[in-house]
Structures are given as C-alpha cells and as structure tokens.
Structure 1
C-alpha cells in the first residue's frame, strides 16, 4: 500500500453513549470504489472518560494502518454528550443562567422559560430582567439600550453568583447597525469579570422565545462544554497529532474546538446528520456530498438496537431540515436540525408469537448480547430471526435459533419488517418515485434486500461506522437569515448580495474560498409589511487546510479553569419570579375521553387544558392565516396561573341591550413572533372608551382563526376588563381584512368599525372617531401599520346584544375546543393517521366537511402585492397511514394520488387539482376545484396535528388538507359570497360550490352545563 502524503489524512470519531467509533480516511483515495479512501476503522464500547476512548480508537487505528501522527490533517469528533446533559437533567453539567431582555415594553407577559418543563427550568433559570432596547421590523428603534440600567441588573446577577448571561433583543438577528446585543454584552463583561455572555442572535434566528430558549440551553452547558472539548483535545495532543480538532454540528458541517465550546447547542443533532452524510459518502463519494447539485436524493435508514432513524439526504448532500421549530427535551427552539423520523424497530426488538406475530416496539436494547436467543438468552428478537434466516451472518450461535420460527411465522415476520420500513420510507419521501435507500447501523442485518419505495437497497461496507465517516468528511457552513427592503433593489440583486455575505461568512469560518457554494435559498415576503422580504441563505465549503495553525490551538487552560470555578460557586436557588412559573399540563395526564370542562350556571370557566385545545383549534380554523396563537396562548396561560378567571357565555344568553366589544391584533405574523405582546391590547381599549360612550359588557373575538381567536378571552379576563367572552366571532375563520366580517355582510349600518383605536404598545396611539366606510377603515389602518412597527392592537366599537345575535358565527370557541380535543385525543391514542377524519366529525361530520387530500408539499411560491402575501402551495399525494403499521404490517391510510395546489392570500383560498401536462399559469377549471372560499381550506401537519400557517409552508412537509363548510352567515346571501368568496380574491372565473352543509358547532356551554 502506498503511504499517504503528509498532512492529508482525516480522522473521524463518534463518541456515542454506547460505542466510540473511529475511521481514518484519505481524501485523495475517496474515489476508489473498493476502499472509499478508508484506511482504518475501529469500534469499541465508550469509556467513562471519553478521552480514553478517543485515544484508544486512534492508537488502534494508527497501529493497524501504520499511520504516523504527522500525516493527520484534521480530527473531527461527533458527540452526544451535550444533548445528553439536557435530556438527563444533569445538574453537575448544567449551570444557572441569567437573561437580560432588550425588549422595552414588550414580552413582559411571557417571561423566560415560560414553556419549559418545570424540572429543567428550575435547574437552568437563575434570574431575568427586562430592560430598554429592541428594534422594529424595519430597523427603527423600539428604544435604545440604557447602560446604567444594564449595570444595575449586572450587580444583582453578580450578587447571585451567576456567571452565564444571555442577552436577547427584539429583532436582534437583523440588527446590523445598532448592534444592541453586542453593546450590551460589552457592558456585562465589564461589570461581571469572567462571566460568559451569549448574544441570542449568534445562536438562532427569528422567533424571540425560541431563540432565547436555544441561547439559554447553550449558556447552561458552556462550562461542561469546555471540560468536554478539552478532554477531546487532550488525547489528540498526547498522541503527538498537531492539527485542528473539530466538533460536528447539526447541519453536517464542523465547528472549531473553540467555537464548539461557545456554541455547544449546535452539536445537538449532529449524530443523525453524521450518519446520513457518512452513508452518502459510502455510496456516492465525497463529490456527491459537498454541495454537488448533480448528486441524487437518497433515504438513509439507520437501524440501531431499539429504533430505526430515517432521514432524507437532499441532492445538495445535506439532510432535509425540520420545519420552523424543533423540540429538544420539551423545549421549543428554532435552529436548524435534520428532519429525522424514528420507529420502534431495531436489532433488539422483541418478537412475540401468538394469535398473530408482533415485532417491537419494545426492545432488549443494550442487553442484546445476553438476552437474545442467539447469545444464549431467553428472548426472541429480530436479530434471532435474521440469524435463523441466514446462519452465515456470523452472529452468536446459529444453532440456538434453529426452528425458532415456523415457515409461516418466518414469512409473517419478514412481511412485518418490510411493511414497517417501507411505510416510514414512504412517509419521508417527497415524491411517489422510488428512491435509493442506504442501510447503516449495527441493526441493518434485520432489513431485507428489497423494500417498498426503494429503487435499490444498499448495505455498504463500513456502514457500522457511518457516524465516524460523516464526521471525517464534514465541511464548513454559514447561514445568513435577514430581512431586507425590496423598495430600491430587486430580489435578484438582494439574493446576490446576501449570497456573497453567506460565502464570506463561510470563508471566515475556515472554508477554502474555491470550494464554497450556496446550497439553500429561501425567500419569504412579509405580510402587511411594505417592501420587506425575509431571506435565508446557506453556504458550505471544504476546510482550508492552509489555516491549520489558526485552528490547532487547544483551549486556554487558565480561562477554562476560571469559568468552571465560578460556575461551581453559583447559588442553587431560583428567583422567586422563576419559581412561580409552572409547566404546561400534559394532555396525556388528562383522560380526554372522560374530561369535562367547568361549566356552571351556563358560564364556562376556561382552564389550561381548555386553553391548549382552543389554541390548537384556532390555528386550524385560521386556514393558514391569522398568525400562530402560540404567543397569545402563553400570555393568557400566564394570566390563568396568576389567578385570573376567564369566562365564556353562549350568544343566546346575552341580553339584547348588552354592549359587545371587540379587539384584536393587526399586522404581520413575522412581527408577532419577535415583538411579543405588551399592554397594547388594553391600551387600545382604554383609549377607545374615552370617546365611545357605550361601555362594553361582553367581549367577542374579531376572528376565531389564528392568534386573534384568543383575544376576546384575554381582554375579558378578570385581570383585564373582567367581562365574559361570547362563544362566537365575526368570521368563523380568518380573513385578511376588516370588511370581510359578518357585520359588514349584513350591512345593517355603515360603517360598523368606527370609531376605532389602534395602539402599538410603544406609546403611539391612533384614534379614528369616524370613517366613510369599512373599506376605508381598513386602508387607513394598513397605512398606519408601516409606521407603527407593522403590528398594532385594535379596539372596535361595541354592538348591541341583539345585533350580535343576528351577525355572530355562533359557538366557534366551542368548535376550536372540539378540534383541539380531537387532535389531542388522536395523539394520545396513537392514531394520527385518522386525525383529519376526527376533526371533520367534530365539525358536523361528512355532510359538513371532507378530507380533501393527504400528501407532501413539493413546491411553494410567494409574492408580495399591496401588503398581502399571495402564493401557491403544491402538494403531491401519498399514502399517509400508521407509519409503523400494525401487527399485520398494514397501514390504515387512504391513498391519494396526483397533485393539488392551494393558492393563498395570507389565508388559503382554494384547493384545486393539477393535471399532468397542464400549462403553467393556465386558468383553473371549475371541475378541478375541490373547495374554495368562503369554505375553509385547512392544512394540517400530519405528524402532530398542528396547523401549518402559510408563512410556514415548506418543501417536504407531510400534510393533511381538510375542507369545512363556511357559516351560513357567509353563504346565505349574495353579499356574503361577494365579500368572502372567490371574486374577493381575484378568482372571477370560478364560482363558489359548497363542500357540504354548514352545521352549527355544538356549544360546550349547552353540553356540559351544571346548574347549582
């Protein structure tokens, strides 16, 4: 064998909870189809000290391949240590963290860790403060930071002995001018010597709470990360290897050791990514895994002892990413991580015989070597079945499993395994076409050579160390996520500028300039924000080995010891404010089938369980628009936990002479995920009633769809206006304008929405005593929006109880509750495949709605016109059933084939069939319309039952589409169809045809009332 040239070898090591795997790879030989450039590999049990395992792996490989330390150009390590510290709630590895929010008057109702599991929050959150600062979406200041205010908070943080601080500013990811987080960090470091300061913008992107959550977890494990990375670096240095030591991160690229100690959270999902990247390398070669657009998409199936993890590797060589949010150990975050689905099937899965054969999901796990029959144990496992079918596998004692299955049982077993793997592969695919499937992991022996949906099944050599291979070949990446103005530059020009920024950022991170490529581009025009678009651009490249010296330095022992010493001296108690926060009630702790809401004397007293279900239902009824109810749900839940009472009454119980007020938010959903609500809702109401003599006696939601569906409840809470909320709203869904409301449909007086008041929460209030029409009210408010941060609270004048009863879409809070309950129950009973049907049943059954389609999003287009985001979502049909199959291996899903499109204007307008060969841009035909406004077209995430809003539409998401009949308040008159139907959205060539007959939602008050 020809010796490799000096400084050319790459070492990859994966330090797992069970095994430490290693490879030595020569990139110059990676095109060799036989060796793939792998000149040594190692697999052994992980040691208590990970450094010992790393040293043993490298030493063993050096000896087997006769490698000298000076030949090594890089060592890259993948690890689960950091994520395990969070999952295991290990207080010895987690430090207390303080949070300083630069948010001005906003976010006060949703404190840090507001939605965390209680045990983890108690370990991590030590103190928080809200101070001046923050930006609007257009870059204007909410307020500037106040140095003295920050110093005052630092004194309290230092008094508590906290040495990790997170700074989180409103819209900080787009702050390139004021640099508020960076300026605040300088002040904090000066005031608290030796502390760690993490700027949230360095950790994650837009999404205030989710970015803060990620930054908090990251800050909490900094001290542990330093110790761990140093333990990784030490054996490398002791072996005389003088080269950079990298740590793999979530997107399949690397961080320097120094960067990994600062951002350990970026390694949390590196395990599945490394496995997928390693699998691709073994099959295609490195040139297909570093952004080469000519590579093929493939499915990677990683079969372990207990579970099978499946992910899609895109043609750019990187895993398909999850949707907007991810969940780590009960904490919601928004940074990039691979979309991986898992099923309970592995080499240790238990096989049971009886009336029918079953496989898993329970497993003997790490006890396989002692519990499995083939190793002398007493439990029949999938490994036993694999050896019985093929004694030549070289595993255990094949004679021990001879006759373990009859011929019929062996056939049934094979069919179940095929069905389980075929089903999850089909779910993860983005088109009906077959796709290459690569099997990796120690449990891959149980998989058949042919699988449904696979064009070919590949079991490459060295697949058992795919994680280490993925680490060895990892490159460098960088992401730019920003909002830019399209007023003076075209989208093409802006994309070119941002792409250059992403490339420069990648080069600065250590990539060789000539290898850097753009691998991901996403553009998202902002609703109700003039000339603003969000751009997300990702670049990747190979490591520049000419910069070896810049990355070869180990961590400073002195600084690490200082940080660890201060971390150990932190106080153990949590602040009083923090300990008052409770966690979300787990729906699995509620017996949903028997649960009854608290309704007394025809008044429904809403609790947290009710609120969770109502919130889920509101987003589904939003038909893609209205914004996520999540931040509003958090605010209202905080009021409940503080002792507030929230009441709902039936419309029929409201007196005719009552005054029914209304309020809600207007603006961009992108703004609402950053600038969390302050006191603007109540401010608008207070200002309105300075000019409006008729004081409200009840509240009602403007629209049940989206975040506004909760505003009537919030305003009516006893700690705000202390008024009962009417079980109904003015839309029965979400619509983009105020003139698309049922009071305007009835047209009994004009205008309805005047006087009106809007407030931005930052000291700016607009009062409109009168207007010429409701359309003019809409125009004026939209014009004011751009100068009020693109998000305001609006207070509308009250109507009489008699008017309300004529105009209201009745019982829509009840409807949202029932939808949310159906979703929760489907999840609790593990039957998400029939969840869409359950929702239809809750809304009146098959006569009033239908499941239109199930499939995957394969295309999204968006444009901005007159402040509204218009677009089109393309969905390709598939079979969505039980992803694991049942005991017979059969799923329950209905087959959907072909494609449909969903045009939207903030909200979904229609669902329309697409025919093969149909000319792009051709007018839709009436016969192809599956459903259209005013009927509700709702897109639901097939994996969890939550609604997917139009800003969240993304390639590859698995979805269900349902249609619900609109209220007869819309469909019962020509004016209703005119204002809310196809022509109102520019579809003049289509006529409204109902999907069914509207059935009034069943009132929770009527069903569950208890008289005292």
Structure 2
C-alpha cells in the first residue's frame, strides 16, 4: 500500500484511577509537536479497563482518520496492580507460599517479618527454610535437597496455594548452580499449573527486599494476567497487528508477557510516564533539570526530571503499602490535591485531601453534580477563560473572598511541595501536566518559569508512547585476573546486549547508569551495577504476545473484575499503628535495670547507624531479629557500667565481615556459637556482655546475644569504640594498653559449622591479621567472641552510656518526623549528644561524586558533597500555620564543596576547591571541618536516617554531622590509634570539634526503685 501502510504510529494509553488518557504519535514527521501528535483522548476510567482502552483508541482513530495497519506499537501504563496492593484487595491478591534456599541462615527473619500485620495475614500462606544458597564468592552454603522441596510442595498443595516464591541466598549472582531455577522446576512438576516466581527475576541483591518484591509479584500474577489480557483484547478487536507493551517504573517498557510475569515492575510507572511525557513536550525549550508537577483528579505527584530526560530515583530502598523493596522507583512526593479535591469553605477554606476522584464528571457542580464543591468548580469560577462544563451551574458557590482564599491555598500547597523536592536554593522551571493542571496558578514561588504546555493533560500517555527499552546487570565479579575497567566494559556490553534482546535498537542502545562497589574484607571482589537503555526497534517482528496456556482461564472476562473491584467488604484496611506520645514516653527501668521494648529498639536502631559514621553495616536485619525475640517473650536487659562489680566478667561480642554480604546472607546462630566455642577454651564464664562497637549492626549484638537462651546475660550500656572503626585493634582497651594482647583467646564462627579459635597471639594487631585472613574463606560474615574483661577494667576502658546515646538520637529523629520538623533533625540530634559545645552541623548539600577502591580488604574512597539548600519544609498545612520562608539567609555557610574520605567509615570532612590545569581537574584541600577520632556522620536530609558509605550515591540530599569523640580517644595514644595517622592521612592533624559531653544515662534518668 506504499507509504501509507508503513508502520510509523505509536499509541500510548495511561489507565489511571480517575481518567484513561490516550495519544497517537508519529515521530517520523520531525520534531514539531503539532505534526507528531496526531490525536489525543481523555475520558473517565471504566471499571473494566478493556472498554476504556477500546474507546480511547477508537475515538482517536476516528479523529485523525488512522488505519490500524499504520500502528507500530501500543504501550499502556496502568495503576491497577499497585492499587490492588495499596487497597489490600482480597479479590485481586492471591495467597503465596515462600521457599527459601538459605541453609542455616535467615531463620530469625522469616518471610514478611517486616510487613504490616494485615498484609502478611492476607498474602503469606506458607513458608519453609530449606537447604541451599550461595556464599558471596559463589561457593555453596549447601546444595538444594529435592526430597525436602517435594515435601513442602505437598503441604502447599494441601493448603490450596497456587503461587510460590523461590528465594535463594545470593541467587542474583548464581549463574552456575541455578538453584532457584532447579527448585522452581521441582515445584512446577509437583504442583501443575501453579505460578512460580524466582526472586532473581524480580529484583537484585538485598535478600529480604528482593523476597518482599517477589511475594507481592506472585500475589498479583493471576490478576495481572487477567488485566493484561483485557488490555490486549481491544487491540485485537480493532485489528491492530502490533506488539502491546506495558510501562515499568524506570520509564522503559515491558512486553505483554513479561509484564504478566513481573507486574510489580509497573508499580510506579504512572509518575514516570508523566515526567517522561513532560520532557517530550518541552524538548525544544529546556535543556536543564526541571520540576514536573502532575495534577490528577485526586493527587498531585511532584518529581525532579533530570537533564537526561529521566526522573531522579529514590535511594536504595522503596516502600509500598508498608512493604520495603529494593527496585528502582522515581523519587516522587504526593499530596492530596487534584481536580476532584473537595473544597470546604468554613472558618478556614480547605482543599482536599479527600476527592470525588473518578466521579468528577458526575459529582462536580460544573457538570451538573449536586454532591459538593470541587477544585475544578473553583478553577472555573476563578478563570473565565476555562471552557469546562457549564459555568452557570457553579455561579455563586464562592464569593470573591472565597475565590481568593481558594487560589491562595492551592498556590501554597504547590509551592510547599515544590520547595520540598528542590535540591538547591535556585529557582527551577516548573512544568505542570495532568488533567488537573487547570487548578494551578501561572506563577509559583521557587519557579523560574511555570509552563503549561499544550497536550499537558495527556503527558502520561505521551510518556507511555515514547518509553524506551532497558536492561540492568547487577552482579559480583572477581577482579583478580582482570582489571576493574576490563570487567566494567564487559558488563556494559552485556547490559547493552540484554537491552537489544529486550527490544532496543542496537544503534541507540547505550549505558545510562553504572556503579562499582568494592566489597570490604573480600579479596578481589566488587559489585557492578549497570543499566542500559535504547529506543524500541520497530523493525523487529519477534515480540512475544501473551500465551496463557489454560484456554478456560482465557474465557474469563474482565466484567468479573468490574463486579468486584469496588466491593468494599472484600478489601482489608491496614490497622492503625498505635501512636507513641514521644514527650511523655518513659522506658522501663526498675532497680537500675533497663528492660528494652520495641519502642526502645526502634530508637536505638536509628541511633546505632548514625553513630556508625558510615560503617558498621545497617542494623536493620538485627533489629528484626531482636524484635522477634521480644515478641516471643525474651527479656533484654541493659545495665549501667557504673553498677558493674569490679570482679564481673564482661564478655565481648561482635560481627565481622562485609556489609554487602549482610544484605544477602542474613544471620543465623554464628554470634552465640562464637561465644559457646570460646568458653570451651576459656575457663572464666561471663556475667555480662558488651558490644565491640555501638556503630551499625554491632550496636545491637550485646542485647541479642545476651538475651539468647544459652547466654542470658545483661548487656552493658557502653562499648569499646563509641562509634564504628574498621579494625579490631582500634578499640579503647588497646588504647589503654594495660595488658597486651587484650583479644586472645578469640573465636570466630560462620554459622555453618566452621570454627576458628586463636588461643594466643603476640599482639592485638596480629589477632586482627589472623582473623582477616580466615574471614573470606568463611563467607565474609562471621560472629566473633572475645575473652571477658573485669568490671573494673570495663569501667575504666569503655565508652559509657552509648546504648543510651543511641536511644536519645533515635528519639530525636522520631520526634522530628512526627512533628514534621525533619528540617531541624540535625540540630536535635546534636542536642542529644551534648549540645552545641559537643558537635556541630558541618555541611548540608547534595552528593555529586563518589569514588571507591578496595585495598587490603577495606573499601577506601571519598564522597564529594556540594553545598545546597536541603531544608524539607514539609510541615503539613493542616497542622501548622503557613509561615513565609526566609530566603535571605539560606544557609550561606554551605557554599562550595567538601569531600569525605572513608575507609569503611568516614575519616574526615574537608573543604575542597577544583580548577582545571592542563585540561585536568585538580582538587585542592582547604579547611578541615572535622576528623577522626571525632565522629563524622552523614544523614539523609529528607528523613534523618543514617547513610552508610555503601549507600552513597549521586543526588542524595544529606547533612554532615560532627560529634566530638569520647575522652577515651583524645589521649596521645588514642589519637595515634584512632586518629588521622591510623588511616594513612599523615598530613592532617587532629583538632577537636568541641568538648566531649558524656551521654546521659537512660538508667540514671528513668530508674524506678522497687
């Protein structure tokens, strides 16, 4: 048929909660938007999405006289799957069984341990911890046991569960043993027709988070197949012979069959589509970062669109309906403001957060509704040029004063959330998109310009139509026989090839993101993460269409969903979490013994990671373990070092290894086993226990091991570091040097039956070297036990009251969040550490560079932070009066850049300047803002959480705190062992940040004598 039949048209459809939007693009017509956008459509979403898609495409075909044989692809964005989870809809969520391939590990963190209780009860139907799993170096923890798996399948069959998740330790790097795939084959054979999800297909490294994502994915599989079939039905009915794609979270596409297997990847695609569509609409106007404000019927979503056309991503973990996951999602904040927001004009005028949502065209006065006044009604009243509905129907609903109030409220809400998302004080272009953009003003504070481009109402559909194809490789590789650069080049090529296999055209496929993370304590191993993306190759004819196998299931129509989707009695709602009155809360301290509960544990966990100064590993998995111990009735006791008898025998416990191993191979019994093995060769039995370091995951170990049934020891409120340090000889007993070596005999166990005992050694440095040599052989994650010291020595040597200090820091963070004052969280933390004389805010800004390298088992590197306005002024308007922000003094002290060198932990904060010399960037060091042994800690400016050195990444908004070190470290020998020279920074001299203030003991403050 000549040129007319050439497939050049792309159809994008976004099926939202309120509206279904459609667009037809022909990018072969050049860059002019008027030429490339042939048709668009917006209509209320139908409960049966098939009808809405059919109507959208049919209408656009008629409008632009389009023939089906011109269409190259249809790409659909949808919120259906994420809504099923958020709404806890039992009609759309299946029960799931989980088979873990983990050997003796992870038993203290069973599946769904960190889920809201109602979600866990709704979805988790069965789980089992089985043999299997890999170490980080690829060696087996153990092989899978087929008989064991078959026995579990019989139990799953009996329970009538048809969705199964298989999750193996380090499965994302398992390319040889293929344990998950082998186990999945057994399950399919034993339970014919069931859905089996291998966790490695869903997400990358991060055991619990990957498992969480796999479970949610498995739970919505049946519903996803039905929904995607309903998407494809109108395509076939309309005679379109082209592939159907679904958009995923990162602005790229999935084939229909892939989306039916991995629907979870579509969860956050709506905001991404809008942002990508927005970039397309202004492609010839802007070449800088911009704020995209997507105003729908119910909510406003705001995200930062980077200059490369992709949205800024969230940090390492994302949260959906209270479930923590580890796949990439756009960093978007939402508020309850949209075209359907209900407006109430009482003593004060309010707009939202409740909304008429998808009923807008029925409920709004301007459309003849009688129910309530909406934001759309008010927008029509305020702007006589708007041609929406019948203006006469809304006349008189608000007087001039009311209209002015309405405009002020909407303007203030938008300005506040834009300010929250900004990364610097400078004004940014703000791009308004979405069907509700009509309610937004033409000028906003903080915006260099406000753009409302033509077709902005269907930006989400445009984003779907132009979505690209991507692939991600996340793996651990040995750098022993090849250079890091050689390996990176190979992985980049692999990522590009995978993108091409997924459907990208080879000429356009390129690497868009890469990261290298050397693994501490593991010889010659690094983690590589590479993402490649490219334009869809429309010359391909091999795009798969969906094959559902069971023809009887294919007969099921979506009208079933139409009948049940809004059936309220079928949905469960999350139980409201009991609010803690932080100001009046008192911990349980009786007769100078502090009995830890879950509230205390939450706060201590937050504080431990902040005191980790970037190292020590996240305490998250250990918090989960200790929380489960508390829930089963174990008693966790903490006592003051002041109350120790001089002849007490205080044991030391600690975990050693790589934090990267810790996110995959969750702890077993290695910590308590190390203590048991030590006391087989050590005559003196312990009476108390103390953690080697308070920073990071080790900060909880004295309480975990102490409360275990075979130890039953009170934990001492203190530790041997007051922070985290990378080596065992950097401890206060070694500083005091009253006997040497302190740390022998010592034991080390891997939790899998392997034990190392060092009966004696010539020095504490030699103990360190011996243990490090064995560490990688034992999987780079071990429990250690050190011989007891006396109560008198503990009182002289320990950094006192550090569990109390962690508790107070965590309480400060919790209080800041609850009161919507995270903007002051840094100052509040410092107040808990002794006030202005004991520390200071060293810097506020955005991470703009991270470099890492592995030397002698430790990760060395530096993080560069550019000064920026990171204040989150997100005080809810309905809780606090609106105050004008003073920008005249917007953090003038944080101008320029600093660097934070680290060796597992942060070493210093140093001002730097950069200049180009002979074509190369030369960095010059300036003022030292803080340096070890003082604590240099980095927290997330948005929530007050600590950010560890493995989590440093470009774009994070951070606050750098300096906290003065304990006087245990500020002697000449202490500075020698824990100061700059111990980190090979001989050119720097320690200068204290301030005056050390001993942490206030929780036991002293809250004790009740009986």
Do both proteins adopt the same fold according to a TM-score greater than 0.5, normalized to the shorter chain? Answer: yes
**Is the contact made by 1:251 and 1:338 (CA closer than 8 Å) also made in structure 2?**
yes
Q: 1:351-381 deviations in whole A, cap 9, x for unaligned?
A: 7889988766666656766877867879776
Which residue is 1:494 aligned to? 487
Which residue is 1:330 aligned to? 322
1:237 CA displacement: 0.9
Matching of residue 924 in structure 1 with residue 925 in structure 2: yes
Match 2:538 to one of 534, 540, 545: 545
Partners of 2:454 and 2:710 in 1: CA distance: 66
Which residue is 2:579 aligned to? 589
Partners of 2:869 and 2:823 in 1: CA distance: 10
**Is the contact made by 1:420 and 1:889 (CA closer than 8 Å) also made in structure 2?**
no
Aligned residues: 984
Match 1:743 to one of 719, 724, 733: 733
Q: 1:833-887 deviations in whole A, cap 9, x for unaligned?
A: 1111211111111121222222221221111121111111122222233434664
Taking a change above 3 Å as real, the CA distance of residues 584 and 398 of structure 1, as seen in their structure-2 partners, is closer
**Is the contact made by 1:936 and 1:965 (CA closer than 8 Å) also made in structure 2?**
yes
- Per mean C-alpha deviation after superposition, the further-off stretch among 363-372 and 11-20 is 363-372
Match 1:456 to one of 427, 439, 449: 449
Matching of residue 150 in structure 1 with residue 149 in structure 2: yes
Which residue is 1:28 aligned to? 28
Matching of residue 280 in structure 1 with residue 270 in structure 2: no
With structure 2 as the length reference, what TM-score do the two structures score? 0.92
1:300 CA displacement: 1.6
Which residue is 1:576 aligned to? none
Taking a change above 3 Å as real, the CA distance of residues 549 and 140 of structure 1, as seen in their structure-2 partners, is closer
Partners of 1:584 and 1:987 in 2: CA distance: 52
1:137 CA displacement: 0.7
1:450 CA displacement: 4.0
Partners of 1:373 and 1:917 in 2: CA distance: 62
- Per mean C-alpha deviation after superposition, the further-off stretch among 467-476 and 454-463 is 454-463
Partners of 1:509 and 1:561 in 2: CA distance: 26
Correspondence list, 1:368-447, <5 A: 383=376, 386-387=379-380, 389-395=382-388, 420-431=413-424, 434-447=427-440
Partners of 1:138 and 1:390 in 2: CA distance: 65
Matching of residue 774 in structure 1 with residue 774 in structure 2: no
Partners of 1:116 and 1:403 in 2: CA distance: 45
1:193 CA displacement: 1.4
Taking a change above 3 Å as real, the CA distance of residues 171 and 419 of structure 1, as seen in their structure-2 partners, is same
**Is the contact made by 2:166 and 2:183 (CA closer than 8 Å) also made in structure 1?**
yes
**Is the contact made by 2:252 and 2:467 (CA closer than 8 Å) also made in structure 1?**
yes
**Is the contact made by 1:882 and 1:891 (CA closer than 8 Å) also made in structure 2?**
no
**Is the contact made by 1:245 and 1:551 (CA closer than 8 Å) also made in structure 2?**
no
- 2:492 alignment partner, SS class: helix
Partners of 2:557 and 2:155 in 1: CA distance: 20
1:770 CA displacement: 0.9
Partners of 1:88 and 1:584 in 2: CA distance: 9
Which residue is 2:16 aligned to? 16
Which residue is 1:479 aligned to? 472
Matching of residue 194 in structure 1 with residue 193 in structure 2: yes
Partners of 1:940 and 1:4 in 2: CA distance: 58
Which residue is 1:1005 aligned to? 1003
Which residue is 2:745 aligned to? 755
**Is the contact made by 1:223 and 1:564 (CA closer than 8 Å) also made in structure 2?**
no
Matching of residue 96 in structure 1 with residue 92 in structure 2: no
Correspondence list, 1:961-976, <5 A: 961-971=960-970, 973-976=971-974
- 2:836 alignment partner, SS class: coil
Which residue is 1:579 aligned to? none
Which residue is 1:901 aligned to? 899
1:342 CA displacement: 2.3
Match 1:610 to one of 579, 596, 600: 600
Question: What root-mean-square deviation, in Å, do the aligned CA atoms of Structure 1 and Structure 2 show?
Answer: 2.9
Correspondence list, 1:830-845, <5 A: 830-845=820-835
Partners of 1:685 and 1:879 in 2: CA distance: 48
Q: 1:591-616 deviations in whole A, cap 9, x for unaligned?
A: 11111111111111111111111111
Q: 1:544-593 deviations in whole A, cap 9, x for unaligned?
A: 2333354345544528469999x99xxxxxxxxxxxxxx99987621111
Match 2:502 to one of 509, 516, 539: 509
Stretches of structure 1 that go unaligned for 5 or more consecutive residues are 289-293, 569-582
Partners of 1:190 and 1:242 in 2: CA distance: 35
Which residue is 2:783 aligned to? 793
Which residue is 2:164 aligned to? 165
Partners of 1:41 and 1:796 in 2: CA distance: 70
Matching of residue 890 in structure 1 with residue 884 in structure 2: yes
Taking a change above 3 Å as real, the CA distance of residues 127 and 248 of structure 1, as seen in their structure-2 partners, is same
Partners of 2:840 and 2:18 in 1: CA distance: 48
Partners of 1:335 and 1:970 in 2: CA distance: 41
1:987 CA displacement: 2.3
Matching of residue 320 in structure 1 with residue 319 in structure 2: no
Stretches of structure 2 that go unaligned for 5 or more consecutive residues are 562-572
1:3 CA displacement: 8.4
Taking a change above 3 Å as real, the CA distance of residues 689 and 587 of structure 1, as seen in their structure-2 partners, is farther
Correspondence list, 1:577-656, <5 A: 589-656=579-646
Partners of 1:521 and 1:678 in 2: CA distance: 33
- 1:786 alignment partner, SS class: helix
- 2:176 alignment partner, SS class: coil
Matching of residue 309 in structure 1 with residue 335 in structure 2: no
**Is the contact made by 1:680 and 1:759 (CA closer than 8 Å) also made in structure 2?**
yes
Partners of 2:835 and 2:916 in 1: CA distance: 34
Correspondence list, 1:701-712, <5 A: 701-712=691-702
Which residue is 2:512 aligned to? 519
Partners of 1:281 and 1:584 in 2: CA distance: 39
1:918 CA displacement: 8.8
**Is the contact made by 1:343 and 1:884 (CA closer than 8 Å) also made in structure 2?**
no
- Per mean C-alpha deviation after superposition, the further-off stretch among 630-639 and 5-14 is 5-14
Q: 1:946-987 deviations in whole A, cap 9, x for unaligned?
A: 11111001111122222111111112x111111111222222
1:395 CA displacement: 3.8
Which residue is 2:808 aligned to? 818
Q: 1:68-103 deviations in whole A, cap 9, x for unaligned?
A: 222211111111111111111111111111111111
Which residue is 2:565 aligned to? none
Which residue is 2:909 aligned to? 911
With structure 1 as the length reference, what TM-score do the two structures score? 0.92
Partners of 1:154 and 1:137 in 2: CA distance: 28
**Is the contact made by 2:749 and 2:782 (CA closer than 8 Å) also made in structure 1?**
yes
- 1:114 alignment partner, SS class: coil
**Is the contact made by 1:69 and 1:240 (CA closer than 8 Å) also made in structure 2?**
yes
Q: 1:157-216 deviations in whole A, cap 9, x for unaligned?
A: 222222211111110101111111111111221222112111110000000011011011
**Is the contact made by 2:295 and 2:338 (CA closer than 8 Å) also made in structure 1?**
yes
Partners of 2:460 and 2:28 in 1: CA distance: 20
Partners of 2:420 and 2:865 in 1: CA distance: 14
